[in-house]
Amino acid sequence: MSVLEFEEKSVEEAIDAACQKLKLPREKLDIEIVSKGSSGIFGIVGARRAKIRVIAKEMPIDAASERAKEILSEILKHIDLPTVIEAEAKEDQVYLNVISNGSGLLIGKRGKTLTALQYLVTRILHRSAGENISVVVDTENYRSKREMSLTELAQQLGDKVKKSRRSLTTGPMNAQDRRIIHLALKEDTEIRTKSKGRAISGASSSIREEGEKARETSRAANRWGTIRVYLKTPSLALRYGGMSRACRRGEPCNV
């Protein structure tokens, strides 16, 4: 973080100026008082302004937004495609919207390219800011359209599982898409969901994301996996005419 200096008539006024400039509360600033200032003689002769040095403990969201825009612009320079980037800070998230006549190239198959761009911007911004700041990269409203499509898919999967009384597994999805599936079914009292993911690096691991526990982090954004959708209560019409130990304990089982 860079060091900024502020000069005002008093230390308190200098601190207020720093808070307004950085758009951060006082407790999120490291403040060094360089000079307390002096009113001088009759407020005229020998008067000196107070001076402070300030370092923000965290990057202001507006500054993070501009930095994320710069990072994405640098990345897209390597693509022979004219683009315009709109940056917007919403609460604790940075939204980057790419305007281009080649949005299909930016999105990629099932949004893989867009997800990769988002991951790169998030990681580089983390190094600059020293903290995790959520970044969303979008183009042509792809994110909202994708969310609607996945929500419909989740409902269809839930209906099929209820009718067939058998679990179903999706194809490979990134963490963000899987989160949408989980959240779409979390209110369904008859259905459970479970993810199993594999990192792009090849290291496999299992992750459990049920309902509100589903979270997307910058690290998980680079992980692909499948979702198993199954019934909370096993069917009474069991394949072998009896209930397995796993089913009796209330654990997931295929029926």
Query: pLDDT tens digits, residue range 70-121?
Result: 999 999 998 888 899 999 988 789 999 999 988 888 999 888 899 899 999 9
Read off the pLDDT of residues 233-248 as tens digits, 9 standing for 90 and up: 765 434 434 444 444 4
Sign of CA dihedral 34, 24, 132, 116: negative
pLDDT of residue 212: 34
pLDDT of residue 234: 61
Spans in the chain with pLDDT lower than 70: 1-2, 39-46, 130, 197-223, 234-255
State the Cα torsion 26-27-28-29 to the nearest 10°.
Answer: 60
pLDDT of residue 145: 93
How many alpha carbons fall within 13 Å on the CB side of residue 172?
Answer: 11
User: What distance separates the 2 farthest-apart alpha carbons in the chain?
Assistant: 99
pLDDT of residue 198: 58
* Strands of the chain, DSSP E: 4-8, 29-35, 50-56, 83-90, 93-100, 134-138, 168-169, 173-174, 191-199, 204-206, 223-231
Q: Please, which residues have CB within 8 angstroms of residue 253's CB and are 6 or more apart in sequence?
A: 234, 244, 246, 247
* Strands of 57-209, DSSP E: 83-90, 93-100, 134-138, 168-169, 173-174, 191-199, 204-206
> Angle at the Cα of 204 (from 168 to 134), degrees rounded to 5?
85
| CA-closest candidate to residue 157, choices 253, 248, 233, 226 | 226
Task: State the amino acid at position 86 in one-letter form.
Answer: E
